[in-house]
Chain A
Amino acid sequence: DAGVTQSPTHLIKTRGQHVTLRCSPISGHKSVSWYQQVLGQGPQFIFQYYEKEERGRGNFPDRFSARQFPNYSSELNVNALLLGDSALYLCASSLEYTGNTIYFGEGSWLTVV
């Protein structure tokens, strides 16, 4: 069975541009969460979506948005990119809203220049 898949794996963007990151959860998983991991730090929670509804939002500006599709896949969008947005963006899925076993993808490495 496929694990959590994320795309693209690596990308380089220019300041001010927009980026869309994609995540496919494990088959049957209804919850998708997004985390940002800056180099040398632990991941920080951005969003959680469950059954296509936003169920949690971390302390991130409105430039960050996300959505979940009927097939439970998800997109993270970041507008007006800043140098500080350079990070590894991780997607995690679980069967239910609260799971003790949460599976992460390998992430999307975003570099803003």
Chain B
Amino acid sequence: AQKITQTQPGMFVQEKEAVTLDCTYDTSDPSYGLFWYKQPSSGEMIFLIYQGSYDQQNATEGRYSLNFQKARKSANLVISASQLGDSAMYFCAMRESLNTGNQFYFGTGTSLTVIP
């Protein structure tokens, strides 16, 4: 089974609107971390936001928030007030337990296009 599933290959959003990128995960480990990265065409993966499995509150970082629904095993990324510079690939990733260091499982990504 896939550890991380991103079902939206491509998404379009109007500038200044909000958009939600979906991510579901599969793990039996009670301790895990969920991450979102942005990858522009240059190739670099840019860290956006982190959510720990024991965190009670949903993570927020500026215009990014993570809608964490543990029972549904979903960790959707919400981008508010979209900007043209948000156009990029977005990857959801998971790390299982603290003993696996920085071994991440990534999804296949969602390509976001912001329309002026």
Closest to B42 in A: A106
Q: How many residues of B contact A (CB 8 A)?
A: 26
Closest to A57 in B: B103
CB of B108 closer than 8 Å to a CB of A: yes
Q: Within the complex, which residue of A55, A100, A103, A109 is in contact with B101, where a contact is CB–CB below 8 Å?
A: A55
Residues on A with C-beta less than 8 A from B4 are 42
Inter-chain contact total with CB atoms closer than 8 Å:
70
Give the residues from 47 to 66 in chain A that come closer than 8 angstroms, CB to CB, to chain B. Answer: 48, 50, 55-56, 58
CB of B71 closer than 8 Å to a CB of A: no
How many interface residues does chain A have, given as a range? Answer: 20 to 34
CB of A102 closer than 8 Å to a CB of B: yes
Give chain B nearest CB distance to A108 CB in angstroms: 9
Closest to B91 in A: A42
Provided the pairs A98-B98, A100-B33, A100-B50 are in contact, do residues A45 and B43 lie with their beta carbons within 8 angstroms?
A: no
Q: Residues of A with Cβ closer than 8 Å to B? A: 31, 33, 35, 40-45, 48, 50, 55-56, 58, 88, 90, 92, 94, 97-107, 109
Q: Residues of B with Cβ closer than 8 Å to A? A: 4, 33, 35, 37, 42-47, 50, 52, 91, 93, 95, 98, 100-109
